[in-house]
A and B are shown apart, each in its own frame.
Chain A
Amino acid sequence: MQALNRHIHPGWLIIAPLMLMVVALYLGPILNILWLSVTDPEPGFSNYAKLTEGDALIRIVWTTVRICIITTLFSVIFGYSIAYAMVHCHQRQKTYMLTLLLVSFWISILVRTFAWLMLLGRKGLVNVTLEDIGLIAEPVAFMRNELGVLIGMVHYMIPYAVLPLLVSMQSIDQRVMDASRNLGASGSQTFWRVYLPMTMPGLVASTLLVFILSLGFYVTPAVLGGGKVLMVAEYISVQLLVTLKWGTAAMLAAIMLIGVLVMLWIMSRFMKLSTVFGGAAR
């Protein structure tokens, strides 16, 4: 027992049931999907070969990646400004801001998506108002296109971008900035060379979080894209439910999974991922 303890920390025994459950309920189905992608409809890599036949699948993957990159960029920029403002304003205002942020965080994605149609649709509040005051003659096409999808997704993702950044900014010792100013750096120098690098783990965390969550978006593109913005998640669901091409669906799911893992791996080359997810930088 002593010998065993030396090699395996007894803590593992305590979490072993949970680990087994995760393996059985999470890894099992994932492996099943990977398996399906090389066995349905026939064994081999015919599903993966579909990526090279014709440009349709590649185009769907590319649309997804492009929309996710733009969404991530805007969500993180807005999220950074919001988090920065929250950390540096008075406690009262901070409480208000946090409340607003969390309220929007908790509202269902469907409600938030349809709310945009009410606001920015062809007969939405904004278009009608602009038309009434004579600024525009024809309604602006905010919705039912890629712009609509981006607006909806960025809006949905901002809370996810803010929260990791907020945690990271709150843990920064303000005296470091004072020291920087004291040593003669200007305000912007202090921001770019001291503050920003110190918030980098939070920045990476929110970027990763937003990008990975965006990859799986289904409702927003389906509703706000007017049917023309086809992202991978929706395509997978069609292949599963309507066209019964489960192999293609599994292949696309596998590609997404591998893509995310590769991204994490590349990230880990540049920084300690444990700091991103809240661990100590060792």
Chain B
Amino acid sequence: MHDKQFKKEMLAESAQAFRAGRMDRRTFLALCGASGVAMNAVLAGDAQAAADHVVMWNWGGQSEECHGSAIGEAFTAKTGKGLKFDTSGPLEGKIKEMVDSGNVTADVADADLFNAVSLGPTGHLEPIDYSVVSKEKTLPGYALEYGVSIILYGYAFVYDTEAYGDNPPQNWADFFDTEKFPGTRALYKWANGSLEAALMADGVAGSDLYPLDMDRALNKIQSIKDDSLYWGSGSEVHSMVVNNEVSMAIIWQNRGRNIENDTDGQYKLVNNQAMAMPGAYIVPKGNPAGAAVMEFIATAQDIPAQLALLDCLGMTPSNPEAFGQIPEDQQPYAITSAMNIDKIVYNDPEWWGKNGGDAVNAFLEAIS
């Protein structure tokens, strides 16, 4: 596996050198021959093309298709460069490992903005070039040195209308009130969103959440522990809800529409007090496509790309100019739509970047 990777990279690099005139044709072909592709002109061409695209590192599935149509096509039209995908999921540990090993194969990771805070200062990320990328095309505070928020996703909740149809839960306080609303809850296992929801349920105002009062949040979470399940992935909570295992669940708001459809409206999304999470693009240090990736990030900020991502993935635009153009049928599910924007609270990537690791561990210890 690594061998193949090495060959691919060597070829890509020599192809770049060849194109730039730093390597003559004969040496390039010899290198291709040495790595066993000389007889295959197609592969050599492929290696040459390696310098002509950016590689997006994301979670695959639908998002591969959607990023291709929403951003990739416009990017190719603008720059002539292609878009390829690595769908292995850019978790913080994997980014760190990739950069530390000196074997960087991705140009841009579809990650969280707090990753930019934790991985940037340790030298694992390239700074964002704000002469190409715009600080105005995202929310204030979400354009950081090592990452820029492209979309927002939210932690909202769904409830079972058959259980609480007459008197539906309105906010996090109701979510955590198992006496008034008996039934099983599902919370996010990696702490994010769950902690903030617990604090708001305990009476903290949405604007005063940070720095998080961990003890207070964990107490609140433990108070409903016997009635709680914890999910680790979007598909897991989806199946918990669809199989009626829980009567309320914290979910990523972009799943809300699918859940409402899959349950024929039995479960309903509540966006009140939803927490807006800045999903960000970050660039691993020493990325193969170099500065060209900034052009790609800038393309993703454009209004058409923003609206296309919303349409395809349910990810809410972070570019304020796009807020007003959210179509009617998407309004209930987009957390920055006119319908929801006054009800939401904002995640602080600085706090999570600095304290996230300890917070996740404390949370895991509290629930297990």
Asked if A228 and B367 sit within 8 Å, CB to CB, the answer is: yes
The total number of A-B Cβ pairs within 8 Å is 71
Cα–Cα distance between A240 and B91 once the two chains are bound (Å): 9
A105 at the interface (CB under 8 A from B): no
Which one of A75-83, A169-177, A219-227 is at the interface? A219-227
A180 at the interface (CB under 8 A from B): no
Asked if A227 and B232 sit within 8 Å, CB to CB, the answer is: yes
Contact A229:B368 (CB < 8 A) given known A122-B243, A241-B93: yes
From B118, B189, B239, A227 is in contact (CB under 8 Å) with B189
Asked if B190 and A242 sit within 8 Å, CB to CB, the answer is: yes
A144 at the interface (CB under 8 A from B): yes
From A54, A60, A144, B368 is in contact (CB under 8 Å) with A60
Asked if B245 and A242 sit within 8 Å, CB to CB, the answer is: no
B365 at the interface (CB under 8 A from A): yes
A245 to chain B: which residues have CB within 8 Å? 357, 361
Asked if B94 and A242 sit within 8 Å, CB to CB, the answer is: no
Cα–Cα distance between A122 and B229 once the two chains are bound (Å): 13
Contact A227:B229 (CB < 8 A) given known A121-B245, A122-B245, A243-B361: yes
A interface footprint on B167-190 (CB within 8 Å = 1, 0 otherwise): 000000000000000000001011
B162 at the interface (CB under 8 A from A): no
Asked if B360 and A144 sit within 8 Å, CB to CB, the answer is: no
A230 at the interface (CB under 8 A from B): yes
A210-237 residues with Cβ-Cβ distance < 8 A to B are: 222-223, 226-230, 235
CB distance from A248 to the nearest CB of B (A): 8
Asked if A222 and B229 sit within 8 Å, CB to CB, the answer is: no
> Mostly helix, strand, loop or mixed at chain B's interface?
helix
Asked if B94 and A241 sit within 8 Å, CB to CB, the answer is: yes
B244 at the interface (CB under 8 A from A): yes
Q: How many residues of chain B are within 8 Å of chain A by beta carbon? A: 29
B interface footprint on A120-150 (CB within 8 Å = 1, 0 otherwise): 0111000000000000000000001000000
CB distance from A11 to the nearest CB of B (A): 30
From A60, A222, A244, B92 is in contact (CB under 8 Å) with A244
B187 to chain A: which residues have CB within 8 Å? 227
B244 to chain A: which residues have CB within 8 Å? 122-123
Asked if B357 and A243 sit within 8 Å, CB to CB, the answer is: yes
B358 to chain A: which residues have CB within 8 Å? 243
Nearest CB to that of B93 among chain A residues?
A: A241
Asked if B364 and A235 sit within 8 Å, CB to CB, the answer is: yes
A56 at the interface (CB under 8 A from B): yes
CB distance from A61 to the nearest CB of B (A): 12
Using a CB–CB distance below 8 Å, which chain A residues touch chain B? 54, 56, 59-60, 63, 117, 121-123, 144, 222-223, 226-230, 235, 238-246
18 interchain pairs, CB-CB under 8 A: A56-B361, A63-B368, A123-B244, A144-B245, A222-B232, A226-B229, A227-B187, A227-B228, A228-B367, A229-B368, A230-B368, A238-B361, A241-B91, A241-B93, A241-B94, A242-B91, A243-B358, A243-B360
Using a CB–CB distance below 8 Å, which chain B residues touch chain A? 91-94, 96, 118, 187, 189-190, 225, 228-232, 236, 239, 243-245, 356-358, 360-361, 364-365, 367-368
Name 8 extra pairs, CB < 8 A, besides A59-B368, A243-B358, A245-B357: A121-B245, A123-B243, A228-B368, A229-B368, A230-B367, A238-B190, A242-B91, A245-B361
